[in-house]
Amino acid sequence: MTTEEATQMVRATPRSLANQEELTTDDVIQQVQKIQHIMHEVMKDGEHYGVIPGCGKQPALLKAGAEKLGFTFRLVTKYIVERIDFPGDHREYIVTCELTHLTSGQYVGAGMGSCSTKEAKYRYRGNAKVFTGEPVPSAYWTTRKKDRAKAQEMLGGEGYTTGKTESGQWDICEVGEKVEHDNPADYYNTILKMAKKRAHVDAILTATAASDIFTQDIEDLVMNGVMVPTEEAQPVQEPQRVSDPRQTEIEQKNAFKTLVLQKSDTNDCSPDYLRSILIQVQAFSHLTEIPDCTRWLDQHGKIVDGRVEVVPIDAEPQPANTPEDHRAELESICICCAAVSRIPVTSDFKTFSLVAVETPLEVDDICKALSSFKGKDGKIVDGRGIADLSEKALEITLKKARSLEPELQALAQ
């Protein structure tokens, strides 16, 4: 669905949703499609919404995303603040956010949120992660499922944890000492803003009926240590494979159309029906390219009465990735690099970027550039071709290759 089509769809609505006493089925469908369209066309993962690792697959609506939805539906906020003081200069704010429609002035809904200086995030200082530069052993993630104590020993024992660097690599971190703040007043303004944000997000989710698309509070629970991510969210996430730049747009659309017909209980293949399915897939998967959406729908989705549903993991178990799968994935990324005449370069052998070259590139040229590294003596060790990589080297090289996918996706568009 293009922006123009979405605009025409909204203009075609005879009355503002805020002025209607009761919504029709078409109104509800349009409302959901509009939110999904805004999510796809305007919002960005990690800025407006984000999936918290280990806390399910439903994205959490962030402050910027709530503001975008409020702007879209022309909702005006009004805040009612209640303050509660506790011994030791601790304080809690309880905020109610009321929403009204900008043009009609009609009351739409409300939400509540609170925040206190007694929350772990604001009550204590220290406990900061200090990166050691040592990568997390690959066996840690599988061991953690069965024996947490043994997995902790693999990190160095008590006082060590894991942390993700800016380059996306998971390193062992040393945890600093945690002590209580001696002046809670330093956070009065911060907790007021946080309570306001929580109330606003709650109100937006309630007023727009978007709780089935987004969730709330998970990010705060994780940050405060109340919720611990489960083992299902191992940092080795499902790769969002880059689309093959050599595949034509018509071939991409035909492949998606064929799969939709296979998954559906109807023979409808009209442009509007296919567009509706594509938007739903994009909302669930956070992918944008048609081939990527086709792969996701094939592996994780089903279509019931024109609505996309996620197939439960237990209902359709997927085989574990094997070294052969990893080699195939690495080869696919290297092929895409060669196809656009780009070779990965680095200054620290951790973070790579693509540089254009004029000479033809082979797949192994890309792999050798990615698998090279700096030894303990400071000397650069030449990389190897895909077939010559050991399983450990393959795992490390694939991580580097996956970091290039956003850049490749931009080049393919």
How do residues 10-64 score in pLDDT, each as one tens digit? 343 434 444 556 778 777 777 777 887 887 788 887 777 776 544 556 677 888 8
319 — pLDDT class (breaks 50, 70, 90): very low
* Pick from 256, 368, 387: nearest CA to 326: 387
The proportion of the chain whose per-residue pLDDT surpasses 90, expressed as a percent, equals: 10
* Pick from 284, 283, 287: nearest CA to 252: 287
What is the number of residues in the chain?
A: 413
What is the model's pLDDT at position 313? 47
Give 174: exposed, middle or buried? Use CB within 10 Å, 0-12, 13-18, 19+: middle
- The helix (H) or strand (E) run that includes residue 397 is helix 391-402
* Pick from 122, 127, 125, 72: nearest CA to 101: 72
pLDDT tens digit sequence for 299-315: 778 887 778 877 654 44
Buried b (16+ CB within 10 A) or exposed e, 20-43: eeeeeeeeeebbbbbbbbbbbeeb
359 — pLDDT class (breaks 50, 70, 90): confident
The answer to whether 70 and 77 are in contact (CB under 8 A) is: yes
247 — pLDDT class (breaks 50, 70, 90): low
Buried b (16+ CB within 10 A) or exposed e, 290-303: bbbbbbbbeebbeb
- The helix (H) or strand (E) run that includes residue 346 is strand 342-346
What is the token pair recorded at 380? 């650069």
What is the model's pLDDT at position 226? 39
End-to-end CA distance of the chain: 17
Q: For the chain, what is the radius of gyration of the CA atoms?
A: 25
Q: Which of 9-18, 251-260, 403-412 has the lowest mean pLDDT?
A: 9-18
pLDDT of 70 above 70: yes
Bigger pLDDT: 202 or 2?
202
* Pick from 226, 200, 227, 205: nearest CA to 215: 205
pLDDT tens digit sequence for 363-389: 888 888 888 887 777 788 888 888 888
Q: What is the pTM of this model?
A: 0.42
- The helix (H) or strand (E) run that includes residue 135 is strand 129-135
